[in-house]
Chains A and B, each alone.
Chain A
Amino acid sequence: MTSTTATGEFWVVKDNRLWRFGEALGRDLMGVAAVAAVTALALWLGGRHDLTNTSIAYLFVIALVSTRCGYRPAVLAAIAGALCLDYFFLPPYGTLNIDNGRDIVTELSMLGVAVLVSTLNERARKQARAARLSEHRTQSLYALVKELADARSIDDVCTAGIRHIETGIGVSARVLIRAEPDGFQCAFSDYGRVALETEDLDLAHWVAKHLEPAGKGTRNTPDATVCYIPLTATRGCVGVLAIRARESASAEAIQSVSLVQSMAQQWAMAIERTLLAEEKHAVEVEAETERIRNAVLSAISHDLRTPLTVITSASSTLVEHGDRLQLSARAEMSRLINDEAKRLSDLLKSLLDVTRLQSGGLRVNRDWESLEEVMGSVLRRVDERRGLGRWQLRTHVPSDLTLVQIDAILIEQVLINLIDNALTYAGNDFPIEINIATRGERDVMISVIDHGGGIRSEELPHIFDKFYRSDGTTGHGLGLGLTLARGIVEAHGGKMWAGHTPGGGLTVQFTLPVANAAPHMIEAELSEGVRAWGQ
């Protein structure tokens, strides 16, 4: 191959040229030396009287050289052998002249057979090497494609690609990822993200623009130390691969130019796929952010302003006209102010909580807690807020103690939010069920089940979204209760999901992991310590 091919082995070959020249010369000399040895042996054994065996000895050595040292040494050995045969063994001895036609035939057939054997040998060797290369190439490509298929992030795709190129071809590699519309956004080496180096950028820009390799060993700027190869996918150049030869590169690996190209192609496709996925995700995040921004605005403008309006108008009525109002009307105004202020306080609390959850400011203070106790304080709180007896509940709490490592205040909040949600959407007429069940040793599952109207199936995936409120319901809250509940459960390492209650209604379930070292420490003490006092 010449150095004008698209991408080449050249940058490595050039580095090793002197060494390779010396090696070739050595092999040539070895062939000639073998011929000399045979000549000496044949003279000593009196080969002049047995031309047939002498010729066969030469042929044998030449065949040997061709197998061991390659084509050129074998041809050189054949010529040397023919000359030696002529000079030492064909009369007149000591000259290169040949007297009779029979000797000419001997001479020429020996030369012919020697060249033929060498050629055949060379062809077989080439085929073997091609097969080896092809296998190496298939394996490298297969390994790369397999790993690229599993890679999800751009980081994974790039480090996997680099690793395979480095081991498959024996070079040091970096990849520069393009940024739209031009320029580069980041670079990777085999151990991950690295800084974009200014020395790379000039040539990389050129390569990305012209979609042609540049740098060492190519037509473009061949005196650079690094070779730059474009990674081209369907929508153009997605990145530039920068490779530098390593001292330890094997001769076989370095010559796999087409392997670099195949790998670069596969890699480019994977990079493009990842970039597209990331762009899509960014667009989705942007849309989600936009939706939340609108929801926050609407929440602030509507949901927070409504209670404020009631408070302002009711209190101003009391201030301005309080003396002219009837006692019952004054009481009504005061009650309105009270109710709306409470609502405002709840709304602000949930906004603050969600903000804290989102900003990562939610601290989970785990302690060994009993779910029975948590349930107790949840029920007390809901009673305080809703009024005792104003709602119905059925609980199934196992009587054996379940201790979990949780933040009791946060899990209490989760349960209150779920109960509030159930009461808001199902009404007070249907009892709410709360079931607590341990699932093996692993976790505890808590279900909050209502038997109200439920929601439509297509709403199910959205009920945990921020500011999501079921169709046609307004004024109950900001739509943050379930978001917050799920966030808290996830912060505990649990999961929360929702489904339909058989027969109608909504069921929300969540799990809390049970740590291995639950304190069963005093079980023994418990049984031993049961003795009556004062008897």
Chain B
Amino acid sequence: MGAVTGGSSILIVEDDRKILRVFLTTLEAEGYRVFDASTGQRAIEEVRTRNPDAILLDLGLPDIDGLALVPGIRSHTAAPIIVVSAREQEADKVKALDAGANDYLTKPFSVPELLARIRAALRSHAQVGEVPRTTISFGDYRLDLEGRTLSRGDAHIRLSATEFKLLATLARHADDVVTTNALLKETWGSAHYGKSGYVRVYMHSLRQKLESDPTRPRYLINEAGLGYRLRTSE
């Protein structure tokens, strides 16, 4: 898939030179144009001047409060932000995702993992700036946000109003992680903050309807402690 990158540009916010070196080498070898920033201020500048297609942001760096950077970056660009964090920073991950980050990577991760995330992020945000997509396909399913239908081939799948809202929310952020609280807010309204049980119940019924093996879901992926993602590509 290396050839598909089409020279997309990626900004890496990372202050460890060695890790940066590995990222730069790997991503450049894949055909990406890569910039780096080692301070928060520099990162915002790079976002404004270079308008990267994706941003890789390390949350756990001593000199940069990565979490505080997310809203700043988001205010300048709609490009996907992938946060990189250590395993112990679950809470930070959720905050970053809620603040506008699109995906996360947990250290230590492998290069194929990194590349897969970047590809997925670039693909699902390819139409950013144009008219938002009104139909989203995953597997054999086709979700029509305007007509409010879900179909598999010619067959309609019956969904309750809430199930549809939930699926539509995930579909609007296809391939991104949507936190449980973000799902609650978009589907039920902000008054239901913290009632994650709602989401679990409806995700369960959605999986029963859409997945052939609900314990090994292909589309409605649970990210433990974080939220859910609708996987549109294998």
For this complex, into which size category does the number of interface residues on chain B fall? 35 or more
Does residue A529 face the partner (Cβ distance < 8 Å to B)?
A: yes
Residues of A within 8 A of B222 (CB): 373-374, 376-377
Whether B203 and A370, one on each chain, are in contact in the complex, defined by CB atoms closer than 8 angstroms, is yes
Give every chain A residue within 8 A of B87 (Cβ-Cβ): 349
Given the known interface contacts A412-B224, A531-B160, A534-B149, the answer about A375 and B215 at a Cβ–Cβ threshold of 8 Å is yes
What separation, in Å, do the CA atoms of A338 and B90 have in the docked complex? 26
Are B144 and A372 neighbours in the complex by a CB distance under 8 Å?
no
Q: Which of A27-35, A394-402, A466-474 contacts B (4 or more CB under 8 A)?
A: A394-402
With A412-B224, A526-B205 as contacts: A533 and B200 at CB distance below 8 Å: no
Asked if A403 and B197 make an inter-chain contact with CB atoms under 8 angstroms apart, the answer reads yes
* Residues B203 and A373 in contact, CB atoms below 8 Å apart: yes
Q: Among the listed stretches A57-65, A191-199, A361-369, which one makes contact with chain B, having 4 or more residues with CB under 8 Å of it?
A: A361-369
A52 at the interface (CB under 8 A from B): no
**Roughly how many angstroms separate A401 CA and B206 CA in the complex, as a whole number?**
12
Q: Assuming A374-B224, A408-B224, is B164 touching A533 (CB within 8 A)?
A: yes
Tell me the bound Cα distance from A530 to B158 in angstroms. Answer: 8
B223 contacts partner chain A, Cβ-Cβ < 8 Å: yes
Closest to A408 in B: B224
B123 within 8 A of partner (CB): no
Looking across the interface, which residue of chain B has its beta carbon closest to that of A522? B201
**Residue in chain A with minimal CB distance to B195:** A519
Please, which residue of chain B has its CB at the minimum distance from the CB of A397? B215
Given A401-B201, A408-B224, A526-B201: A376 and B217 interface contact (C-beta under 8 Å)? yes
In angstroms, Cα B121 to Cα A453, docked, is 45
**Chain B nearest CB: distance from A531 CB in Å?**
6
List residues of chain B with CB within 8 A of the CB of A403. 197, 200-201
- Say how far A448's CB is from chain B's closest CB, in angstroms: 14
> Once the chains bind, are A522 and B198 in contact (CB under 8 Å)?
yes
The verdict on A529 contacting B162 (CB below 8 Å), with A349-B87, A368-B197, A370-B200 known, is: yes
Q: A395-B215, A408-B225, A409-B225 are in contact. Are A534 and B144 (CB under 8 A)?
A: yes
The residue that B160 contacts in the complex, of A345, A368, A412, A529, with Cβ under 8 A, is A529
Find the A residue at minimum CB distance from B224: A408
Closest to A409 in B: B225
Are B201 and A532 closer than 8 Å at their CB atoms?
A: no
Q: Is the CB of A534 within 8 A of B147?
A: yes
Q: Which residues of A contact B156 (CB under 8 A)?
A: 532, 534-535
Interchain nearest-CB distance for A485 vs B (Å): 16
The answer on a CB contact under 8 Å between A365 and B149 is no
CB distance from B101 to the nearest CB of A (A): 18
Please state if B161 and A529 are interface contacts (CB–CB under 8 Å): yes
Partner of B214, one of A345, A349, A372, A518: A372
| In the complex, chain B residues whose CB is within 8 Å of the CB of A370 | 200-201, 203-204
- Chain B neighbourhood of A407, CB < 8 A: 225
**Interface size range on A against B:** 35 or more
Q: B185 interface residue, CB < 8 Å from A?
A: no
> Is A409 a contact partner of B224 (Cβ separation < 8 A)?
yes
Give the residue name and chain of the A residue nearest to B211 (CB).
A376
Chain B, residue nearest A534 (CB)? B149
Q: Which residues of A contact B197 (CB under 8 A)?
A: 368, 403, 518-519, 521
B108 at the interface (CB under 8 A from A): yes
Interface string of B194-234 (1 = CB under 8 A from A): 01111011111101100000111100011111000000000
B159 interface residue (CB < 8 Å to A): yes
CB distance from B167 to the nearest CB of A (A): 10
The smallest C-beta distance from B171 to any residue of chain A, in angstroms, reads: 14
Residues facing B in A477-535 (CB within 8 A) are 518-519, 521-522, 525-526, 529-535
Q: Return the CB mask of A403-415 against B: 1 if under 8 Å, else 0.
A: 1000111001000
Q: Is the CB of A379 within 8 A of B201?
A: no
Q: Is B148 an interface residue, CB under 8 A from the partner?
A: yes
Q: Which of B164, B208, B215 has the most CB of A within 10 A?
A: B215
The answer to whether A372 and B207 have CB atoms under 8 Å apart is yes
A291 on interface, CB distance cutoff 8 Å: no
A462: interface (CB < 8 Å): no
Complex: A341 Cα to B110 Cα, angstroms: 11
Across the interface, do B149 and A533 meet the contact criterion of CB distance under 8 Å? Answer: yes
CA distance A412 to B90 in the complex (A): 14
Instruction: Give the CA-CA distance A350 to B90 in the complex, in Å.
Output: 17
Given A522-B198, A531-B161, A533-B164, residue A372 in contact with residue B223 (CB < 8 A) = no
Contact A365 B90 (CB under 8 A): yes
Per-residue contact bits, chain A 326-353, to B (CB 8 Å; 1 contact, 0 not): 0000000000001001000100010000
* A386: min CB distance to chain B, Å: 14
- Shortest Cβ distance from residue B142 to the other chain A in the assembled complex, whole angstroms: 11
With CB as the reference atom, state the residue of chain B lying closest to A533.
B148
When chains A and B are docked, how far (Å) is the Cα of A519 from the Cα of B161?
20
Q: Does A521 lie within 8 Å of B225, measured CB to CB?
A: no
Among the listed B108, B158, B180, B202, which residue makes an inter-chain contact with A532, where contact means beta carbons less than 8 Å apart? B158
* A409 interface neighbour in B90, B196, B205, Cβ under 8 Å: B90
Instruction: Choose among A379, A401, A532 the residue that contacts B200 (Cβ–Cβ < 8 A).
Output: A401
Question: In the docked arrangement, what's the CA distance between A373 and B195, Å?
Answer: 17
Instruction: Give the shortest distance, in Å, between A42 (CB) and chain B (any CB).
Output: 98
**A369-B201 Cα distance, complex, nearest whole Å:** 9
Interface centre among B147, B180, B216 (most CB of A within 10 A): B216
Contact partners of B196 in chain A: CB under 8 A: 367-369
A293: interface (CB < 8 Å)? no
Contacts of A380 in B (CB 8 A): 216, 221
Chain B residues near A526: list those with CB within 8 A.
160, 201-202, 205
In the complex, are the beta carbons of B201 and A519 less than 8 A apart? yes
Give the nearest-CB partner of A349 in chain B: B87
Closest-CB distance, B40 to chain A (whole angstroms): 28
Which A residues are CB-close (under 8 A) to B208? 399
Contacts A349-B87, A397-B214, A533-B161 supplied; 19 other A-B pairs, CB < 8 Å: A338-B110, A375-B215, A376-B217, A377-B224, A379-B216, A403-B200, A408-B224, A519-B197, A519-B198, A526-B160, A526-B202, A526-B205, A529-B163, A530-B158, A532-B158, A533-B150, A533-B158, A534-B147, A534-B148
Across the A-B interface, the 10 shortest Cβ-Cβ residue pairs: A534-B149, A519-B197, A529-B160, A368-B197, A532-B158, A373-B222, A408-B224, A409-B225, A370-B200, A533-B148
A-B CB contact pairs (8 Å), 25 listed: A365-B225, A367-B180, A370-B204, A372-B204, A372-B207, A373-B200, A376-B214, A376-B215, A395-B215, A403-B201, A407-B225, A412-B224, A521-B198, A526-B160, A526-B201, A529-B161, A530-B158, A531-B160, A531-B161, A532-B158, A532-B159, A533-B148, A533-B150, A533-B164, A534-B149
Give A contacts to B, CB under 8 Å.
338, 341, 345, 349, 365, 367-370, 372-377, 379-380, 395, 397, 399, 401, 403, 407-409, 412, 518-519, 521-522, 525-526, 529-535
Using a CB–CB cutoff of 8 Å, the interface residues on chain B facing chain A are 87, 90-91, 108, 110, 144, 147-150, 156, 158-164, 180, 195-198, 200-205, 207-208, 214-217, 221-225
